[in-house]
Amino acid sequence: MTKKYTIRIRRYDPQTGKNWYDIHNIYAERRMTVLDALNQINEHERAGISYRSSCRMSICGSCGTIVNGKSVLMCNTFLKDLEDPVTIEPLRNFAIVKDLVVDTDAAMEKLRDALPYTTFSITKSRCESVQTPKQLEKIKQTSQCIKCMLCVSACPIYGLDYNFMGPAAAAIAYRYNKDSRDHVGEKRLDSLTGRNGVWKCNFVGECSNVCPKNVDPAGAIQKMKVMGVLHCIKSALKPKLKSKSKSKK
């Protein structure tokens, strides 16, 4: 059984700087996704709409857009679950390259501040890195992040201040700080408790609402704040403890 849908697509031409909406009417089956709809429009109407997609399985994270006002992955958003007309727009908080394609380089670069690696990966050891199921459970949720940047698009703080590290970097940092194989946590916390770190988060929670993998970056940021406070106290006490130990000697 098919149903008629009206698809409104925000277009952008970088050569002229013009924005407009294309309107297309299509007939879709219940199982058709937003990505399928765009593919059909491009193939049958030669619309020439630019957008990113790859796996079609919610794994690569490349097909993120705003659909009816919410940041989603087009490949796992079904037309049957949406109100008609369906409006598709590029992700917020990013510069638009063309049509639905945005430049996420700045947000991706902030992931470097999270030091997304463990000590084990740095040493390139050939030995086993054993981890118990209980240790794995601590990082399992945040390990699901696919870097789709939907959380950054939904974050009002990042929209106001592009210097803010953003929820994606904070969630990844928390994942590695809780990894039993990691020993650079102190260095990572130095980076995340800086001027543009986790303290700028007001806990709006939109990042967790849109996350397709239930990573809960908002919760991770709050946990990072607690870790940050303990880290700052520890850093402040270190010089005093050292001076006392020297005086005793």
Side chain identity at residue 243, one-letter code: S
Beta carbons within 8 Å of 158's beta carbon, 6+ residues apart: 93, 107, 152, 164, 166, 167
Q: Which of 83, 103, 123 is the endpoint of a domain?
A: 103
Give me the CATH number covering residue 146: 1.10.1060.10
Domain interval for residue 186? 105-237
On the question of pLDDT at 128 being above 80, the answer is: no
Residue of 123 and 51 predicted with greater confidence? 51
Helix ranges (DSSP H) in the chain: 34-45, 105-110, 119-123, 133-140, 150-154, 156-160, 167-177, 185-192, 206-210, 217-248
Q: What is the pLDDT of residues 21-43, one digit of tens each?
A: 999 999 998 899 999 999 999 99
**Crossing angle of helices 217-248 and 167-177, rounded to 10°:** 50
- Note if the bond before 85 is cis, omega within 30 degrees: yes
Q: How many domains does the chain have?
A: 2
In a domain, 39, yes or no: yes
pLDDT at residue number 118: 80
Are 73 and 164 members of one domain? no
On the question of pLDDT at 78 being above 90, the answer is: yes
In a domain, 203, yes or no: yes
pLDDT at residue number 182: 85
pLDDT at residue number 240: 61
Are 123 and 226 members of one domain? yes
pLDDT at residue number 93: 97
Are 82 and 121 members of one domain? no
Three-class secondary structure of residue 167 per DSSP: helix
* Percent of the chain whose predicted confidence (pLDDT) is above 90: 74
Q: Between the CA of residue 126 and those of 120, 121, 132, 135, 178, what are the distances in Å?
A: 9, 10, 19, 21, 22
Whether 34 contacts 67, CB under 8 Å? yes
The pLDDT of 182-206, averaged and rounded, is 89
In a domain, 245, yes or no: no
In a domain, 127, yes or no: yes
Are 55 and 149 members of one domain? no
Q: Which of 50, 69, 103 is the endpoint of a domain?
A: 103
Task: Supply the mean pLDDT for the chain.
Answer: 91
In a domain, 243, yes or no: no
Q: Which of 61, 76, 103 is the endpoint of a domain?
A: 103
User: What confidence tier does 162 reach under pLDDT thresholds 50, 70, 90?
Assistant: very high
- CA–CA gap between residue 174 and residue 146 (Å, rounded): 15
On the question of pLDDT at 249 being above 60, the answer is: no
